[in-house]
Chain A
Amino acid sequence: MPPEPAPRAPTALTDPDTGTIIFIASCRPPLPDGDYRLTVTQSASNAAKGPPPGATFDESYVNIRRFVVRGERFAVQQAEIGGVFPPSASTGEYGNVLPHVVIDRATLPWERSAGDAADSSWLALLLFDESDPVPPTLTIQVGDLTPAAFAHAEGATPTASTLPATTLSYPNLTLGYGEFPWQQCNAIDIPVALFRAVAPGVVDLPWLSHARTITPADPTRMGLASEPGVPVETSVVLGNRMPQPNARCTVHLVSLENMAPLLATGDSYTSVPIVLPGGGDADFVRLVSLANWSYRSVDPKQSFTEILKGLDAADDFRVLGIANASTDPVVANALAMGHVPLDHQTRQGSRTVSWYRGPLIPFAPPGTIVVPQPNAANDGLATADQALRYDPDTGMIDLTYAAAWEIGRLLALQDSEFARALYDWKRSNTQAVVEAFERGVLEQQMGAALGIDAVGLAAPQPMQHAIASFIARRLAPHLTGKGTER
């Protein structure tokens, strides 16, 4: 017996080549969010020299139209979050990975501004460790971002905001068109010291968002719906903090709209005072959280490659069968070929154990159908029991094909539309047979009279031709009285 080849482990591929990715510094919308006023002025005057009295005029016509460009501000649709990394709720070797979020709308990061000189993205990723601790996510109303009292429902009398006295939120926040203080949003309250430590500095802001245009070579490989060659436009927001090893961490996608004055300045990250509107230092900073997810960073065995390399490689991955060391050749063969012994409750009510094998088998099947056929005429299976196989040597029954037949039947019965369509089709077959029979009888009975013989059952034409000629040549003369025959 030749020595068994060593199982081939999955190997890392060195040359991935799929389509193109274009990195774009920023993808700014043509019109930023806001209220717009479009004024059209038309002036008309009589420009002729020395116009007669009464013919001079000099008038202006002004037309003003207002419109609003609305964008997301206090919440983003979850469908726009195209993906996060590290994956949500995953555990992996992420110690050196900056978290990022892919947003399916390429312009979203630049639809508002952090308020710095570079007009940077208003979105930022803040990573929190268990030991920070992670600020709890609060569900608040938009009005709770300001200290003033506000209406908690449409038309309600303003009542107090829940913003604590020592918490600073977005300074000078004003609501735009279509934004109401009673809208719900998520927020986190971050202690000022933590905010200073982990929030990006003003100098970092321009680096942390960019856009990507991806043109996959073959979108079906990724299960994407888009056509080959059609680019997928996304924007990416990067975090600026590595997770603590062996700890659970949570990442919040926060809005830093007009918060640049509160961020640390310069390459040495000098803190700036964070002062409440009424004076005095703030203890907390409240930020809108647009999305959040958490993951766990552990040992380096959890990366994509390491997970896949660690896949169970038993028997060349080939065998969808149970590895076994049985010395009984029947048992060893059956298990290796994918058969599984399962409890079997027989029709008589007794219990036994029978073989079953699924449709996914570890070897190349013969090209022909080998389901046991009840007779040589290939009549198909009328009942599940016809597909039972019995091994007289071991006394074991093989239920494989009987089970397949039965599940097919149950699936068909479950779908009433299919059952009806199948019934209609079978009835149309029966009707075709009956019609063919009727034609045959008619031809037999009338064929002699019509002067045709040996007409096929399936072809209607000879019969019709014969009738037509009978009417024309032999019947018509009697009916019209013009006949000369006989």
Chain B
Amino acid sequence: MTRLLVDRATHAAALSSMLGDRAAIVAATSDIDPPIQLAQWLGQLGKLYGVPYRYLIPHDLLLPDESIRFFQLDESWIYALIEGACSIGHASTTQATQHAATSHKLHAVAQAPKLVDGAAVPITGFVLRSQVVPGWPKLEIVPFDANGTELTLIRRDLLSPSILFYLVRGTIDHVVLREPAIGLHSGIDIDGEKRLRYVTVPTAAPAGTRAGDQLANVAAAPGFRDGGNRVLAVDALASAIETLLVANTANTAPDGQPLPFTAAEFGLEMVEGTQAVTCQSGTGS
């Protein structure tokens, strides 16, 4: 009986020392990976999902109206964030020790979505605060690194209706912001003329011309209906464009016959080109 009590006391002491022994914990838990649910949640948190706006942009001066700001992600900040998230439920030193011995796995799953072929790369991105964000909801964004390679998107989100948050793998050097092709708009030129576009490309066209490019120095003159209401005489404009296209062999079948001019060709001719703007990140200080 005495021996049993002695054994129990010895075992209790041994167990508590083992629960405080990092090497033993690491050995015993080596094959227990965090479940997928934890991995997903921490992966999202690693991309800053859920972090309130004020924690990201703590001061309005950091991101004034009509501005774009490039940034690098501070992995130390993410480390502290994940540590905080995984700290819940610690009530004793034993639990803290166990956490310290196993938390590297939690940090690993939080980083997993941001790796390229298993290797860590810098995570960078930009915040754009502009009227462009609500005005062009399908805004096309192409991020490049310094070598001109397109980077992979990690997160694209609106932090508010007018603030776009964009995160990529790799070091962003410049980004092309483009009007969405779906939003191609139509109209006449600012100078009141309507420059024409090639429907078919004649051999006489400059080298490299593609269908849809504008003809040099060929413009129709749009007319308006009477009454000063700025109502376009659409049919007359369509006829004028058709005549000019035929005259420039820009809507012609291979056998030289003019192709039909329909609402499709008219739609193409009325398109005002989409615009694209490049924003270049600085080299840093």
List residues of chain A with CB under 8 Å of any chain B CB.
8, 10-13, 16, 18-19, 21, 23-26, 82-83, 85-87, 90-92, 95-98, 100, 102, 197-198, 200-201, 203-204, 206-212, 214, 216, 218, 220-224, 232, 234, 236, 238, 240-244, 267, 269, 300, 302-305, 307-312, 314-323, 336, 338, 340, 342, 356-365, 367, 369-371, 377-384, 387, 400-413, 415, 417-419, 421-426, 428-430, 432-437, 440-441, 457-458
**Selected contact of B81 from candidates A24, A210, A407, CB within 8 Å:** A407
**With A83-B183, A204-B234, A441-B11 given, is the CB distance from A365 to B275 under 8 Å?**
no
Contacts of B232 in A (CB 8 A): 98, 240-242
Question: Which residues on the B side are within 8 Å of A441 (C-beta)?
Answer: 11, 14
* B34 CB contacts on chain A under 8 angstroms: 425
| A322 proximity list for chain B (CB < 8 A) | 59, 61-62
Question: What residues on A are CB-neighbors of B73 within 8 Å?
Answer: 359-361, 365
- Assess whether B41 is in contact with A433, with CB atoms less than 8 Å apart: no
Q: Does B130 contact A (CB under 8 A)?
A: yes
Smallest beta-carbon distance A377→chain B, Å = 7
Selected contact of B79 from candidates A210, A371, A384, CB within 8 Å: A371
A232 contact set on B, CB distance < 8 A: 182
| Given known A-B contacts A241-B229, A359-B56, A433 and B24 have beta carbons under 8 A apart | yes
Residues of A within 8 A of B184 (CB): 21
Q: Is the CB of A409 within 8 A of B88?
A: yes
Max chain A CB contacts within 10 Å: which of B187, B263, B270? B263
Once the chains bind, are A364 and B76 in contact (CB under 8 Å)?
no
Q: Which of B86, B267, B277 contacts A11 (CB 8 A)?
A: B277
On chain B, the residues within 8 Å of A309 by CB distance are 277
What CA separation (Å) do A267 and B64 show in the bound complex? 52
A359 touches B74 (CB 8 A): yes
Hey, which chain A residues are within 8 Å of B278, CB to CB?
Answer: 10-13
User: B71 and A362: CB pair below 8 A?
Assistant: yes
* Pair B178/A212 contact, Cβ less than 8 Å: no
B153 near A: Cβ within 8 Å?
A: yes
With beta carbons under 8 angstroms apart, the residue of A25, A95, A269 that contacts B264 is A25
B window 98-144: CB within 8 A of A: 98-100, 102-103, 120, 122, 125-128, 130-132, 134-142
User: Which residues of the other chain, B, contact A409 by a CB distance below 8 angstroms?
Assistant: 84-85, 87-88
B residues near A (Cβ < 8 Å) are 11, 14-15, 18-19, 22, 24-25, 27-30, 32, 34-35, 37-38, 41, 45, 48, 50-52, 55-59, 61-90, 95-100, 102-103, 120, 122, 125-128, 130-132, 134-142, 153, 156, 171, 176-190, 192, 212, 225-227, 229-236, 238, 262-268, 270, 272-285
Q: Are B89 and A404 in contact (CB under 8 A)?
A: no
Q: Which residue of chain A has the shortest Cβ distance to B36 in the bound complex?
A: A421
Contacts of B103 in A (CB 8 A): 380
Taking a contact as CB atoms under 8 Å apart, the answer to whether B66 and A307 are in contact is: yes
* Given known A12-B275, A209-B263, A238-B267, contact A357–B70 (CB-CB < 8 A): no
Question: In the bound complex, do residue B235 and residue A371 qualify as a contact, i.e. CB atoms below 8 Å apart?
Answer: no
Closest Cβ neighbor of B132 among chain A residues: A307
B77 and A404 form a contact (CB under 8 A): yes
- Interface SS of A by simple majority: mixed
Residues of A within 8 A of B48 (CB): 359
Which residues of B are found within 8 Å of A370, using beta-carbon distances? Answer: 76
- Report the Cα distance A428→B283, complex, angstroms: 48
Please name all residues of chain B whose beta carbon is closer than 8 Å to the beta carbon of A204 when the two chains form the complex. 233-235
- Residue from B84, B98, B284 within 8 A of A406 (CB atoms): B84
Expressed in whole angstroms, the minimum distance between the Cβ of A206 and any Cβ of chain B is 6
**B59 neighbours in A (Cβ, 8 Å):** 322, 340, 342
Contacts of B192 in A (CB 8 A): 96
The 9 A-B residue pairs with the shortest CB-CB distance in the complex, in nearest-first order: A316-B282, A408-B84, A318-B282, A25-B262, A405-B84, A312-B67, A13-B276, A360-B71, A203-B235
Check if B38 sits within 8 Å of A358, measured CB to CB.
no
Give CA–CA (A437, B24) in the complex, Å.
Answer: 9
| Chain B residue at minimal CB-CB distance from A435 | B28
A307 to B282, CA, bound (A): 20
Q: A433 is contacted by which of B67, B98, B183 (Cβ under 8 Å)?
A: B98
Contact A436 B231 (CB under 8 A): no
| Distance A293 CA – B127 CA, assembled complex (angstroms) | 29
Please measure, in the bound complex, the distance between the C-alpha atom of A180 and the C-alpha atom of B34, giving whole angstroms: 59
In Å, the complex CA distance between A351 and B167 comes to 36
With a 10 A CB-CB cut-off, give which of B50, B57, B59 has the most chain A CB atoms. Answer: B59
Q: Given the interface contacts A207-B266, A433-B28, does A320 sit within 8 Å of B63 by beta carbon?
A: yes
Q: Are B180 and A429 in contact (CB under 8 A)?
A: no
Chain A neighbourhood of B71, CB < 8 A: 320, 360-362
A220, B77: Cβ atoms under 8 Å? no
Within 8 Å by CB of B24, from A314, A406, A436, lies A436
A151 to B30, CA, bound (A): 75
Query: How far, in Å, is A462 (CB) from chain B's closest CB?
Result: 16
Check B230–A317 contact: CB distance below 8 A.
no
Given A338-B62, A411-B85, A422-B89, A400:B77 Cβ within 8 A: yes
- A selection of 28 A-B contacts at a CB cut-off of 8 Å is A13-B178, A23-B264, A24-B264, A90-B131, A95-B190, A96-B192, A97-B185, A98-B270, A100-B185, A203-B235, A223-B138, A238-B270, A242-B188, A242-B232, A305-B277, A312-B64, A318-B282, A320-B70, A358-B55, A360-B57, A360-B125, A377-B22, A402-B80, A405-B87, A408-B80, A426-B89, A430-B98, A458-B28
Complex Cα distance, B150 from A218, in Å, reads 11
Chain B hits for A318, CB < 8 A: 69-70, 281-285
B220 to chain A, nearest CB (A): 13
Contact of A12 among B22, B77, B277 (CB under 8 A): B277
Q: Which residues of A contact B190 (CB under 8 A)?
A: 95-96, 300
- When distances are taken between beta carbons in the complex, the residues of chain A under 8 Å from B64 are 312
B98 and A369 form a contact (CB under 8 A): no
Instruction: Please determine whether B234 and A208 come into contact, CB atoms closer than 8 angstroms.
Output: yes
Q: How far is the CA of A208 from the CA of B34 in the complex (A)?
A: 59
Nearest-neighbour CB distance to chain A for B196, whole angstroms, equals 14
* Cβ-defined partner of B100 (8 Å) among A201, A216, A319, A380: A380
Q: With a CB–CB cut-off of 8 A, which chain A residues contact B63?
A: 320
Given A197-B227, A359-B77; A208-B263 close (CB under 8 Å): yes
B274 and A23 within 8 A (CB): no
> Are A207 and B69 in contact, CB atoms less than 8 angstroms apart?
no
